[in-house]
């Protein structure tokens, strides 16, 4: 029995290895885990072969447990370990009780081999707080139920004691272990590539002017190659790499690829160093001026956002609870695949009811510069960016030079009839609707994050299609996703 809050952190469901051994692995934080074993050993009068098989199985399961995992073994071992702490240093504490028997020696040997500690014997307390079972004939109390931990994790154990007053409907007493887990510190994140752009400064006219001037100085002297492809314009380094792969023995292509990579790494280091320097200066300024909101935002930029553990999901039939990360990602993939690939059949009679429109040849004309600028101006600030992490503000305030280069790129895509994968690929993020079970995929709403350059091209298409086709064919009842209308306007339609 475990708490619901712990159940959401299970890497996998509890695993029953045999009739006597079951284990459960729990995610703590910083990718650290703790593995619990609940075991029931053969009694003193059991066949020695059964005892040997039990400890062999338990030994194998402990060995295959990841070395970084904390281990806690909760067990009814039917063994008495005695009080000889000098002979079993590191395994047995100074506060044992009673004498050792054959089962106890098997347990002590197992703990010494696996570097485990019997926490019941580590604390000085009354015998009534140590013993767990009373012999039915002699009426003597013995310690036969134990809590074992790794010797290196002994400092995590604050206290282990028996709860004599707990009623468990058994002839054994309840044993409780109080822990304070010492975990490794989270490594400092230095993933600069995934940091957000600082676009707040673009609210200043001076910063915008400097940004546009820098874009102009970098882009104005760059000329497009003859008959370029969209992929070549969008990712020059990637194209050089592909050229190198096609002819790896060509020294010229190899030299070009190495030069581009070298320049890329050098520029990346410069940008990274400048980013850290400016962030340090801004953080110090916030601290000196008492701007706590800005100070904590700067700290978040250094350490990164906190990530919550992925909630378990139910399978498509709702019978199995999926807990491991790989299976959860596959479940999301299958869910959105079935959601977006649903084939819809339209009756021919319905298609014939659509009035025939004249051919509009103007729709195939290449986008004009004015259309590109209009699409850029229609972008909303403060929206999440796609996988390229380039926000809307960069395109909006980039200036005419940047807009001209983007327009040339869109024209190339239009003429070639090809769009780079960076503009087409999207990141789907599920958002919980705050109703229903979190384990049900249908209680989530998926939002799609596209690259902003792809959104600009889509907006150019939309600006052409809406006045040319949509307004003449959409029914009056269609209010959603239309200019100057919303779904609330449906209440006003008679």
> What secondary structure, in 3-state letters, does 191-216 show?
CHHHCCCCCHHHHCHHHHHHHHHHHH
pLDDT of residue 232: 62
Give me the pLDDT at residue 94, please: 92
Which DSSP category does 15 fall into? E
Residue ranges in the chain whose pLDDT is less than 70: 9, 11, 186-198, 221-249, 304-310, 342, 481, 489-494
CB 398 within 8 A of CB 377: no
Is the separation of the CB atoms in 9 and 309 below 8 Å?
Answer: yes
Q: How many CB atoms lie within 10 A of CB 227?
A: 9
Cα–Cα distance between 299 and 319 in angstroms, integer? 43
Q: Is 105 helix (H, G, I), strand (E, B) or coil?
A: helix
* CATH superfamily, domain at 4-179: Endonuclease/exonuclease/phosphatase (3.60.10.10)
pLDDT computed for residue 468 by the predictor: 79
Structure tokens at 145: 């139920």
Give the Cα separation of 408 and 390 in Å (integer): 19
Could you tell me the sign of the dihedral formed by the alpha carbons of 200, 205, 210, 213, in that order?
positive
What are the two backbone dihedrals, phi and then psi, of residue 37, each rounded to the nearest 5 degrees?
-120, 130
**Cα–Cα dist 344/478, whole Å:** 20
The segment(s) of the chain belonging to CATH 3.60.10.10 are 4-179
Gap between the Cα atoms of 132 and 141, Å rounded: 7
CB crowding 87-119: b at 16 or more within 10 Å, else e: ebeebbbeebbbebbebbebbbebbbebebbbb
Q: What is the DSSP string of 62-81?
A: HHHS-TTSEEEEEEE----E
Dump the DSSP string for 450-489: E-HHHHHHHHHHHHHHIIIIIHHHS-TT--TTSTT--GGG
Q: Which sign does the torsion angle of CA 349, 351, 357, 358 carry?
A: negative
Positive or negative torsion for Cα 145, 149, 151, 155: negative
pLDDT at 60: 92
């Amino acid at each position: 029995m475990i708490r619901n809050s712990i159940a959401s952190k299970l890497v996998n469901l509890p695993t029953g290895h045999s009739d006597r051994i079951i284990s459960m692995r729990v995610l703590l934080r910083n990718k650290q885990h703790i593995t619990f074993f609940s075991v029931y050993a053969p009694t003193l009068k059991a066949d020695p072969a059964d005892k040997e098989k039990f400890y062999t199985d338990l030994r194998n399961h402990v060995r295959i447990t990841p070395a970084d995992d904390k281990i806690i073994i909760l067990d009814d071992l039917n063994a008495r370990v005695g009080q000889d702490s000098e002979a079993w240093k590191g395994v047995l504490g100074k506060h044992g009780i009673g004498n050792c028997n054959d089962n106890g020696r098997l347990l002590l040997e197992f703990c010494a081999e696996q570097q485990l500690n019997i926490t019941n014997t580590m604390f000085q307390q009354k015998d009534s707080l140590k013993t767990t079972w009373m012999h039915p004939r002699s009426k003597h109390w013995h310690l036969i139920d134990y809590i074992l931990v790794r010797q290196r994790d002994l400092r995590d154990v604050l206290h282990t004691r028996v709860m004599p007053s707990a009623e468990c409907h058994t002839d054994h007493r309840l044993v409780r272990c109080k822990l304070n887990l010492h975990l490794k510190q989270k490594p400092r994140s230095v993933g600069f590539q995934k940091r957000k752009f600082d676009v707040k400064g673009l609210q200043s006219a001076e910063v915008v002017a400097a940004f546009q001037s820098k874009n102009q100085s970098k882009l104005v002297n760059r000329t497009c190659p003859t008959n370029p492809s969209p992929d070549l314009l969008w990712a020059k380094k990637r194209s050089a790499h592909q050229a190198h792969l096609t002819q790896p023995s060509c020294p010229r292509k190899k030299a070009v690829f190495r030069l581009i990579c070298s320049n890329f790494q050098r520029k990346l280091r410069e940008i990274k160093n400048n980013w850290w320097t400016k962030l340090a200066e801004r953080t110090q300024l916030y601290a000196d001026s008492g701007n706590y909101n800005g100070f904590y935002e700067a700290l978040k930029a250094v350490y990164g956002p906190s990530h919550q553990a992925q909630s378990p999901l139910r399978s498509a039939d709702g019978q199995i609870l999926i807990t491991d990360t790989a299976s959860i990602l596959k479940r999301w993939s299958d869910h959105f695949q079935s959601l977006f690939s649903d084939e819809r059949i339209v009756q021919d009679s319905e298609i014939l009811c659509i009035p025939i429109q004249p051919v509009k040849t103007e729709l195939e004309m290449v986008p004009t510069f004015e259309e590109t600028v209009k699409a850029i101006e229609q972008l909303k600030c403060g929206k999440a960016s796609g996988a390229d992490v380039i926000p809307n503000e960069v395109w909006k305030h980039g200036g005419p030079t940047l807009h001209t280069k983007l327009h040339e790129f869109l024209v190339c895509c239009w003429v070639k009839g090809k769009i780079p994968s960076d503009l087409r690929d999207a990141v789907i993020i599920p958002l919980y609707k705050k109703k229903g079970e979190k384990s049900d995929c249908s209680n989530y709403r998926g939002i799609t994050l596209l690259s902003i350059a792809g959104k600009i091209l889509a907006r150019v298409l939309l600006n052409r299609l809406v006045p040319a086709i949509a307004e003449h064919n959409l029914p009056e009842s269609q209010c959603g996703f239309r200019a100057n209308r919303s779904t609330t306007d449906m209440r006003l339609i008679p």
